[in-house]
């Protein structure tokens, strides 16, 4: 599981990396399905946008990747540093309590509808 080992540049040349190949499971919970779908969507859009400009797809993808996905990885990573710095006897009950008190917020965050940045509802990311 790529816990925080995400790429800053998601590809090389004509190769675009998505999902786990780009290291996109969130570093806090290890959830990667949303990021696999979202990165694939962004990569597909970049390929379409670069269709008449060979070699540009990665540049387009890199830009949307940087704006839409990297911030989430960074905030999830920061959350991980805080919570998992606690001893296991504390962080496990903390996570259980959070999931019991705010299951909807947890669900929406895993599904990409809320940000790891203070669990705010997301504004649409530029496509
Ligand atoms: C045990 C476990 C539990 C998880 N639970 C969750 C969860 O509850 N929620 C969540 O959001 N995420 C979860 N994840 C993470 C999530 O599964 C991944 O982040 C997500 O599946 C990544 O999607 P992907 O398309 O990038 O890669 P994958 O789903 O791994 O798809 C890659 C595909 O490529 C195929 N492949 C590999 N090499 C080749 C090749 N050379 N030629 C052709 N095909 C190839 C593989 O067989 C595979 O089918 C879990 C991961 C694990 C390991």
For residue range 21-40, list pLDDT tens digits in order.
Answer: 999 999 988 999 999 999 99
Q: Kindly state the tokens that stand for 35.
A: 């990021």
Pair 17, 10: CB distance under 8 Å: yes
Pair 39, 69: CB distance under 8 Å: yes
Give the global pTM: 0.92
Ligand 1 touching residue 25 (CB < 6 A): yes
Q: What is the dihedral of CA 53, 56, 57, 58, to 10 degrees?
A: 170
Measure 89 CA to ligand 1 centroid, in angstroms. Answer: 30
Pair 57, 50: CB distance under 8 Å: yes
From 10, 20, 34, 106, give the residue whose CB has the most ligand 1 atoms within 8 Å, as the site to mutate.
Answer: 20
What confidence tens digit (pLDDT) does each residue in 63-103 have?
999 999 999 999 999 999 999 999 989 999 999 999 999 99
Pair 39, 19: CB distance under 8 Å: yes
Tell me which residue has its CA closest to atom 15 in ligand 1: 32
Exposure string (b/e) for 93-125, b if CB count within 10 Å is 16 or more?
eebeeeeeeeeeebebbeebebbbeeeeeeeee
Distance in angstroms (rounded) separating the CA atoms of residues 1 and 26? 9
Give the pLDDT band of residue 127 (cuts 50, 70, 90). low
Domain ranges, ordered by start, for the chain: 11-110
From 3, 17, 24, 36, give the residue whose CB has the most ligand 1 atoms within 8 Å, as the site to mutate.
Answer: 36
């Amino acid at each position: 599981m790529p816990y925080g080992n995400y790429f800053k540049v998601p590809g090389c040349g004509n190769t675009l990396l998505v999902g786990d190949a780009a290291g996109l499971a969130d570093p806090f919970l290890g959830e990667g399905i949303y990021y696999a779908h979202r990165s694939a969507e962004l990569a597909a859009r970049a390929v379409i946008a670069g269709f008449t400009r060979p070699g540009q797809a990665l540049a387009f993808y890199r830009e949307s990747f940087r704006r839409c996905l990297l911030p989430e990885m960074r905030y999830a990573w920061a959350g991980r540093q805080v919570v998992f710095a606690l001893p296991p006897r504390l962080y496990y009950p903390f996570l259980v309590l959070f999931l019991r008190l705010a299951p909807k917020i947890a669900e929406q965050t895993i599904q990409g509808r809320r940000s790891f940045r203070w669990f705010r509802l997301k504004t649409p990311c530029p496509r």
